[in-house]
Chains A and B, each alone.
Chain A
Amino acid sequence: MNSRDRSTRSAWVWRLAIAAMAALGGLAVAAGAPAGQLDGGAVPDRQAQRVAVSAPSGPGPRLEIAKHKYSSPILTVPAGTTVTWVNRDDDVHTVVSTTLAFRSAGLETDEAYSFKFTTPGVYEYFCTLHPLMTGKVIVK
């Protein structure tokens, strides 16, 4: 939905509706849908993952992957935060939870993956191609 095409009044009504929905508990907004939300244990279909990866990433923290390392290997965020990883390395990397709570596809250079952390806990993750690359997201 492109708000520039709307009249000022209907755009204002639309924004109010969105704010109301957000207040009711964090429903995804169409333009900024967080990518890659998975059921626990599900292995995503690779094609579906690629579509999700190219959607615009969420507004939360962005971690970079470079030189076979995750920047900010320990990250603490409040529940409801969308975390985005961007691969700036010259090799393929993944972001995979050790409990399979989330699992990216293989990320080529400049590809990104986002996941929204709704449940508090400690989420350890690693790269399935280079498993010595590890990181942790602590969700409060």
Chain B
Amino acid sequence: MIHDSSHVRDNDGSEGSGGDGVDRRGFLQCMAWAGTGLVWTATGGILSSATLRQAAAAGADPVSSFSFVQISDTHIGFKGEANKDALGTFEQAIARIKAIEPAPAFIIHTGDLTHAQKPGAFDTVSEALKGTKAERIFYIPGENDVFADGGKEYLGRFGGPAGTGWQSFDFKGVHFIGLVNVLNFKAGGLGSLGQAQLDWLKKDVEGLSGSTPLVVFAHVPLWAVYPKWGWVTDDGEQALSYLKRFGSVTVLNGHIHQIMQKVEGNISFHTALSTAFPQPAPGVGEGPGPLKVPVEQLRGVLGVREVNYVQGKNRLTVVDSTLA
């Protein structure tokens, strides 16, 4: 199902010559995996949703050149009322990932790997993700991963050669950027990138053609989901200003333990479910934090996400899937 063809995407979004064929068998396998999944498709800046059955019926092109998984907020070590078995639900999410055929090219973890840096938790997450068939795992930290020591443990382990934690890489013509917005965490809860990282980001995208699809991942939402609860990055707008000239930008965040989506021009934003516990909707209740739901509903509000990239089309398809 994965093609190595490198269609050059025309600026008007049309396919190059000899477009990808429709592979219904592979698509139906995806449908079976996702079950209650929702397909979010961004085409030319318009976000539309459909269940997988509707998408198939509409003749949507299901063939993707590659897919990757976003997993977020696993909070290994959490033992609160909202979920007494955060490890168990994490393992269910891993089983889901292992069932994806063909295997995702890589996995991105958008932070809060651990709950409060509990001893052994980084190991648990790392080992479990390595046990999937994905070839590589990319991480950016959440505040839980860095709160106790200013990031010393996390960066020593996942900080990369520069030790900063931020990173970029290319895969099949898509440029991926991982940002860290929990190290300058301020009183009042806002995420923050900091000037050094902003300077790095500006340089990182400077030489890229505007038709290069971008995927940006960071823990705290880069846009103002709900500033009163700290669900915003104080210098996020500055970062987004460097990306506005690109034809397709997909921003993947975590932190709020629920799915929220927004489209602004060519930029689509998606926050992710946690595998550990849900949080209240913005403004509902006293503040953010673990939300206890009836036990039979818990797995329905936890999940993982597969992102499919369709070569030759201006489209990244986001498929969210719950654990039940």
Contacts and interface: CB of A to CB of B under 8 A. Distances in A.
B230 interface: yes
Interface stretch (B61-69, B97-105, B185-193, B314-322): B185-193
Contacts of B150: 43
Interface stretch (B140-148, B168-176, B203-211): B140-148
Interface in B67-98: 80-81
B152 interface: yes
A131 B186 contact: yes
A38 to B, nearest CB: 13
Interface string A89-121: 011101000100000011000000000000000
Interface residues of A, number: 19
Given A68-B287, A94-B148, A126-B187, A132 B80 contact: no
B189 A132 contact: yes
A57 to B, nearest CB: 20
B236 to A, nearest CB: 16
Contacts, number: 54
B229 interface: yes
A131 B148 contact: no
A58 B145 CA distance: 30
A64 interface: no
B148 A106 contact: yes
A25 to B, nearest CB: 32
Contacts of A106: 116-117, 147-148
Interface in B3-49: none
A126 B143 CA distance: 13
Nearest to B151: A43
Among B144, B147, B187, residue most surrounded by chain A Cβ atoms (within 10 Å) = B187
A68 B80 CA distance: 14
Contact of B189 (A90, A124, A131): A131
Contacts of B81: 90
A129 B149 contact: no
Contact of A129 (B147, B190, B287): B147
B118 to A, nearest CB: 9
Contacts of B300: none
B289 interface: yes
B186 A129 contact: no
B282 interface: no
Contact of B185 (A43, A125, A131): A131
A128 interface: yes
Nearest to B81: A90
Given A128-B185, A129-B147, A134-B187, A90 B80 contact: yes
A103 to B, nearest CB: 8
Contacts of A15: none
A131 B230 contact: yes
B288 interface: yes
B258 to A, nearest CB: 17
Contacts of A94: 147-148
B292 to A, nearest CB: 12
Interface in B113-169: 115-117, 143-144, 147-150, 152
Interface in A9-65: 43, 46
Contacts of A125: 187
A68 B280 CA distance: 15
A98 B188 CA distance: 11
18 contacts: A43-B149, A46-B149, A68-B289, A90-B80, A91-B80, A94-B147, A105-B148, A106-B116, A106-B117, A106-B147, A128-B143, A128-B147, A130-B289, A131-B187, A131-B188, A131-B230, A132-B229, A132-B288
Given A106-B147, A126-B186, A128-B143, 19 more contacts: A43-B149, A43-B152, A46-B149, A90-B80, A92-B115, A98-B187, A106-B117, A106-B148, A126-B188, A128-B147, A128-B148, A130-B189, A130-B289, A131-B188, A131-B230, A132-B188, A132-B189, A132-B229, A132-B288
> 10 closest Cβ contacts across the A-B interface?
A126-B187, A131-B189, A128-B147, A92-B116, A106-B148, A132-B189, A129-B147, A43-B150, A134-B187, A98-B187
Interface of B: 80-81, 115-117, 143-144, 147-150, 152, 185-190, 229-230, 287-289
